[in-house]
Amino acid sequence: MPGPKQISEEAMVVSRINQGGEELEETQENCQRDSTKNGVSIKSFLWHGGSVYDAWFSCASNQVAQVLLTLPYSFSQLGMLSGILLQVFYGIMGSWTAYLISLLYVEFRSRKEKENVSFKNHVIQWFEVLDGLLGPYWKAAGLAFNCTFLLFGSVIQLIACASNIYYINDNLDKRTWTYVFGACCATTVFIPSFHNYRIWSFLGLGMTTYTAWYLTIASLVHGQAEGVKHSGPTKMVLYFTGATNILYTFGGHAVTVEIMHAMWKPQKFKYIYLLATLYVFTLTIPSAAAVYWAFGDQLLTHSNAFSLLPHSGWRDTGVILMLIHQFITFGFACTPLYFVWEKVIGMHDTKSICLRALARLPVVIPIWFLAIIFPFFGPINSAVGALLVSFTVYIIPSLAHMLAFRSASARQNAAEKLPSFMPSWTAMYVVNAFIVVWVLVIGFGFGGWASMTNFIKQVDTFGLFAKCYQCKPHALPALPSPAPSARH
């Protein structure tokens, strides 16, 4: 008779074989679907993405959008050295917590698949992972923080679209441009899931790459402005406001679980976010450093880098590309909200794209309305980073991983073992605990204080339903001087 240990080992082997067979069947289904007819091969190539490359493009494209234009402003608050060091620090920290989320997703899915739960017509989301591993209270926390963060992120993208296009065409006010782009972004209801963002992710990354290198080269060609000064850092409030913006920059993985679920083999996600972050460094660090070198303290009153660079076809191209990319980012932020709403109203497993699009419209309309009511995303942006991103992206994943594997049996039977560079579970806990304490004190504590202080100082400039927030008044045409009267 085999012993209990042997039976346990055999059960683990069978489980892994079954899991591998399910992955193989899923991959074969995708391959068969993509190769059914020659007429749809191009559509399949552009539309059905689930490889590691698709996930990499999605992560890299989603990580930087409008924030690319505000990082030079953060450098003016932090100074050159702190700006570069904090980008590297928070980029690595963000990659680590994305890795933790991927481990928790694989653990949750492997447990459910052992119970014969099928996810064929169901997209797993972060709050469901927390619910399955830690219970309903964690589900409520994950749902509240994630949905609020993604809601504000979508609103910010709409306002940023209106702000950017105003640099090219100021014949319409920003509120009118918000109407226009709200209608454009509403078309994202027709994109079923992250599985269908293949071409958009590829184009989006190309757009941010162009814009980043335009900012870098244009600043170097322009040279340092006359009398340029680099005073930062000067005040603690400004310093921690800038640090919070960088914390927000590398906290774009509120959609990590949805991107993983769109993959044919989610187990391969482990290091994708880190590789995406390393590429993003090549965009954010040179562009922010070059613009700050050229304009220095002028950036303290110009949060959008486009506003200081001279008008040219190259700049207008960058503005237009960023507008298109913000449409893509709006879709990234809204799609998880679409999924949540579909599950609430019982439409998530509907196969008709048109029916799902109609069901999703109630999500877009309030976002559109909020962007019109509150057009002042600048002061709110850092507050969202400190109060929401700190928990959603850093604290909750770290705590969840510690609690999910707190027992010896959970660690022993984990679907994913320790990474090769981590010597023990104790070291894993030390790293996670450091992230929790650091972000709680520096990000949420000091960052929240600085962001709210800045918010309160600017509250008098706010105006609900503002027609054109922070717009320069148009110069009135000069009146013709009266003709001199003839003397008799």
The answer to whether residue 157 sits within a structural domain is: yes
Q: Poorest-confidence range of 93-97, 273-277, 364-368, 476-480?
A: 476-480
pLDDT one-digit tens code per residue, 236-267: 988 998 898 888 888 766 788 999 998 988 88
481, two tokens: 């001087």
Question: Going by C-beta distance under 8 Å and a sequence separation of 6 or more, which residues neighbour residue 125?
Answer: 146, 257, 258, 336, 339, 340
The answer to whether residue 313 sits within a structural domain is: yes
* Residue 389 binned pLDDT confidence (cut-offs 50, 70, 90): confident
| pLDDT recorded at residue 376 | 65
* Residue 218 binned pLDDT confidence (cut-offs 50, 70, 90): very high
Decide: 263 and 269 in contact? Cβ < 8 Å: yes
If one compares 66 and 281, the residue with the highest pLDDT of the two is 281
If one compares 303 and 54, the residue with the highest pLDDT of the two is 54
pLDDT one-digit tens code per residue, 89-145: 999 999 999 999 999 999 999 999 888 888 888 899 999 999 999 999 999 999 999
Helices first, then strands: H and E counts in the chain:
19, 0
Going by the DSSP 8-state scheme, the letter that residue 138 receives in this structure is H
- Residue 409's domain comprises 48-462
How far, CA to CA in Å, does 117 sit from each of 128, 194, 396? Answer: 13, 22, 26
Asked if pLDDT for residue 208 goes beyond 80, the answer is yes
The Cα 162–Cα 173 span in angstroms is: 8
For range 399-422, the mean pLDDT: 91
pLDDT over 70, % of the chain: 82
pLDDT one-digit tens code per residue, 317-354: 998 998 888 888 888 889 999 999 999 999 888 888 89
Q: Is 416 helix (H, G, I), strand (E, B) or coil?
A: coil
The Cα 465–Cα 455 span in angstroms is: 18
| pLDDT recorded at residue 142 | 92
| pLDDT recorded at residue 44 | 65
Q: Is 83 helix (H, G, I), strand (E, B) or coil?
A: helix
Bond preceding residue 233 cis, omega within 30 of 0: yes
Q: Poorest-confidence range of 285-289, 331-335, 399-403?
A: 331-335
| pLDDT recorded at residue 478 | 47
| pLDDT recorded at residue 459 | 64
The answer to whether residue 62 sits within a structural domain is: yes
Question: Going by C-beta distance under 8 Å and a sequence separation of 6 or more, which residues neighbour residue 147?
Answer: 336, 337, 340
The answer to whether residue 485 sits within a structural domain is: no
| pLDDT recorded at residue 100 | 95
Domains in the chain, number? 1
pLDDT over 90, % of the chain: 43
The answer to whether residue 19 sits within a structural domain is: no
* Percentages (nearest 5) of helix, strand, coil residues in the chain: 75, 0, 25
| pLDDT recorded at residue 472 | 64
For tokens 């991107």, the residue is 259
| pLDDT recorded at residue 3 | 46
Mean per-residue pLDDT of the chain: 83
pLDDT one-digit tens code per residue, 44-63: 666 677 889 999 999 998 88
For range 469-474, the mean pLDDT: 61
The answer to whether residue 26 sits within a structural domain is: no
Closest CA to 398 of 446, 442, 434: 434
The answer to whether residue 305 sits within a structural domain is: yes
The answer to whether residue 285 sits within a structural domain is: yes
| pLDDT recorded at residue 460 | 65
> What CATH code is carried by the domain that includes residue 332?
1.20.1740.10
* Residue 380 binned pLDDT confidence (cut-offs 50, 70, 90): low
For range 431-450, the mean pLDDT: 94
- Angle ∠(198,200,206) on CA atoms, nearest 5: 110
* Residue 183 binned pLDDT confidence (cut-offs 50, 70, 90): confident
Position 44: which residue type?
A: S
354, two tokens: 């048109």
Decide: 178 and 159 in contact? Cβ < 8 Å: yes
How far, CA to CA in Å, does 51 sit from each of 16, 219, 325, 450? Answer: 21, 37, 22, 41
| pLDDT recorded at residue 122 | 87
| pLDDT recorded at residue 253 | 65
48, two tokens: 């059905």
